[in-house]
Chain A
Amino acid sequence: MADFLEGAFVASVLAGMIRMATPILLAALGELIAERAGVLNLSVEGAMLTGALTGFLVAHGSGSLWLGTLSAVLAGAALGVFVGLLAAQLRVDQILVGLALNLLAVGGTSFAYRLAFKDVGVKNPSTVATFEPLKIPWLSEIPVVGEVLFSQHLLTYAALLLVPATYWFLYRTKSGLELRGIGDSPRAVDMRGVDIARRQVLAVTFGGAMAGLGGAFLTLAASGIFVPEMSAGRGWIAIALVMFGNWRPQWILFGALFFGLIDSVQLSLQAVGVKLAHEFLLALPYLLTIVALVLNRGRSQAPLMLGIPYHREAR
């Protein structure tokens, strides 16, 4: 029990927190932009998986992790464009589109993976050499803090920087103002001459790209392998994060760290041999998501027209 309070243990848990928060933070910030434009994009899980697989396949085939990461982003973006076009141009029911694309991604990635590695056995999955954490010189030497904050992957630093970046975009730029306007009243913004469909497609594309990037983190930084359905609901948690972060980047960061912490603690407890039914710990983030949803009601700052397709001629 004394182990817990040792600096090394705490450091490893906190470092794990930030590392595990990375993919959901990326996906959640992307989803935030999409939802601020009024599009409820439920295909985040699918985009993550697609990014994970694409990044893995390209890295495996080309030997370049960066190329893999780039293709993961593009794959996620492609999914985003598709959702955006369906939602903003054809005005299809957004919930169904998201679900359909999720299914497509789950089935599609399993299909593609099995095709690509037809002859490889289950016991011996193909692997990829992952990104190494980027240790910031001198700062990473600081005890505890150094390991937690300054020895993370580049993608993690990028994810953390994305928080103030999205804040700046939403609240300090004209495009961000217009995006927020679209989410609350697309008609008002349309009458000012802004192309609503185009903005929405761009927003959802960004969301997909970020989810894809989050997926790339799973295969290219965190694990080095691809397992069908490996995202295990993280895309859904990202969507929930936007909700109880009340559509504000800073609160989304807080929520992502919280989930990262749970994940990290759960892993560490297993590692030091604490005897708790580990399924309970695994289920904890999902239960807590529900609890957070219930606690946060009534204070919603949701975009007013979230999920509602915009028709100019609506009478």
Chain B
Amino acid sequence: MKPWSVERRQEVGPLPQILAILLALCGAFAVSAALIAVAGASVSRAAAAAWLGAFGDARAIAETLLQATPILFTGLGVTLAFRARLFNIGAEGQLIAGAMGAVWVCMLVGGGVPPAVLIPLVLLAALVCGGLWGAIPGVLKARYDANEIIVTVMLNFVIFFLLAYLLSGPWRDPASFYNQTPRLPAAARFPELIAETRLHWGFVLALIAAFLVHVFLWRTALGYELRAVGINALAARYKGIRVARVTIVTMAASGAISGLAGAAEVPGLHQRLVLDVSAGFGFTGIIVAMLGRLHPLGVIPAAILFGASVTGTSAMQVAVGVPVAINQAIQAIILIFLLVSDALVRYRIRRIGARG
């Protein structure tokens, strides 16, 4: 008989979970280093450039946090949905919906309105539009048991085409060469957080959102119901929880938070709506939510890490010429390593012969 056996743990404590994350990050960085080498660059130079680009000085940090902002929002939206076992892959589309709502309000209201009025309106519009777009798959799931993975992925495409139509037609800036909206009123711009950087109050808003989501999940009755449905919808139903209602509300809330990412990006930052507005933030949000263990407060460092990944790989491209597309690859690799180390950490090796 072999002297050891592999057995499943009953529950995985916090220490093994953190170990899993560290293992994942190490593995991912190792593979990334390999990719960098394949791209023909010096790994040490690339790493140095990346570090400086992400955290080198106040400006770099500000930029990193800025890049983290939309990802933090989408990560929170995904966290909410995944906690209810609703696999919302539509954060991309919900972000676009939020951005469209924000832009529409700006166009409607015009430039004569002070920021104190315009910005709350913009945020409200983003919440509502993102929420509605998120509610659609929620309703379809609740009423028709339509697989939310497929529906949200399909809706991503649909709203992308809608955006393309708007940008090439009704919303197009006639004065511009590209398909984009005209510049939005300056009043809609989010106030800057650190002087002479692009970092704006949207980041703080995202932090507040994380805190609110945390409170919601563990301190409200609806949050309790959401978590219950996510683990065992059958038992929840037997004890009177209205699963359909929870489904729809959760998807709407998830969409609304991702919609805020759209507000942070467009009126908050770039001031124009372009086709590329979401740029993968929705998918990154999923990875960040997993890395944060579906915990609203855990999503914060994860989002910052990914913000650093964006600024870092940007700097890497400039310094050593590695294509910036490596960023997505690295993100996916982190997720894969995390899944694997999660699975490994679920088991432990025990020596046999120990009496007990």
Contacts and interface: CB of A to CB of B under 8 A. Distances in A.
20 contacts: A93-B339, A96-B335, A97-B339, A100-B287, A101-B332, A103-B332, A106-B328, A111-B35, A111-B328, A111-B329, A115-B38, A118-B323, A240-B150, A243-B147, A279-B168, A283-B162, A290-B150, A293-B146, A293-B147, A294-B146
B276 interface: no
A58 interface: no
B104 interface: no
Contact of A236 (B39, B146, B153, B325): B153
A307 to B, nearest CB: 10
Contacts of B162: 279, 283
Contact of A100 (B161, B168, B325, B332): B332
A91 B6 CA distance: 14
Given A92-B340, A279-B161, A239 B146 contact: no
A42 to B, nearest CB: 7
B151 A293 contact: yes
B225 interface: no
Interface string A59-103: 000000000000000000000000000100011110111011111
Main secondary structure of the interface of A (DSSP, over half): helix
B87 interface: yes
- Residue of B153, B164, B327, B328 contacting most chain A CB atoms (<10 Å): B153
B121 interface: no
A188 interface: no
A308 to B, nearest CB: 13
Contacts of B323: 110-111, 114-115, 118
A100 B339 contact: yes
B150 A110 contact: no
Interface of A: 42, 86, 90-93, 95-97, 99-108, 110-111, 114-115, 118, 228, 232-233, 236, 239-240, 243, 277, 279-280, 282-283, 286-287, 289-290, 293-294, 297-298, 311, 313
Q: Interface range on chain B: under 10, 10 to 19, 20 to 34, or 35 or more?
A: 35 or more
Cβ-closest 8 pairs across A and B = A107-B328, A104-B332, A103-B332, A107-B329, A110-B325, A90-B343, A111-B325, A114-B323
Contacts of B331: 103, 107
Contacts of B87: 95
Contacts of A280: 161, 165
A37 to B, nearest CB: 19
Nearest to A40: B149
A111 B144 CA distance: 40
B310 to A, nearest CB: 13
Contacts of A115: 38-39, 323
A138 B329 CA distance: 50
B268 to A, nearest CB: 26
Given A101-B336, A104-B329, A110-B325, A287 B154 contact: yes
B89 interface: yes
B344 interface: yes
Contact of A92 (B8, B145, B343): B343
Interface in B2-16: 8
A240 B87 CA distance: 15
B165 A103 contact: no
Contacts of B330: 107
Contact of B290 (A96, A105, A107, A294): A96
A118 B153 CA distance: 31
A100 B336 contact: yes
Contacts of A108: 328-329, 332
B265 interface: no
Interface of B: 8, 35, 38-39, 87, 89, 140, 144-147, 149-151, 153-155, 157-158, 161-162, 164-165, 168-169, 283, 286-287, 290, 323, 325-333, 335-336, 339-340, 342-344
B346 to A, nearest CB: 8
B290 A279 contact: no
A110 B155 CA distance: 24
B336 A104 contact: yes
A177 B115 CA distance: 67
Given A92-B343, A283-B161, A283-B162, 15 more contacts: A86-B340, A95-B149, A104-B329, A107-B329, A111-B326, A115-B38, A115-B323, A277-B165, A279-B165, A280-B161, A286-B157, A287-B158, A289-B154, A293-B140, A298-B145
Contacts of A107: 325-332
A42 B149 contact: yes
A289 B150 contact: yes
Contacts of A93: 339
Contacts of A96: 290, 335, 339
A39 B323 CA distance: 34
A285 to B, nearest CB: 9
Contacts of A236: 150, 153-154
A240 B146 CA distance: 11
Contacts of B168: 279
A306 B155 CA distance: 24
Contacts of A283: 157-158, 161-162
Contacts of B140: 290, 293-294
Contact of A86 (B8, B150, B343): B343
A103 B150 contact: no
Contacts of B146: 290, 293-294, 297
Most chain A CB neighbours (cut-off 10 Å) among B89, B157, B283 = B157
Contacts of B38: 115
B154 A100 contact: no
B325 A91 contact: no
Contacts of A42: 149
Nearest to A108: B329
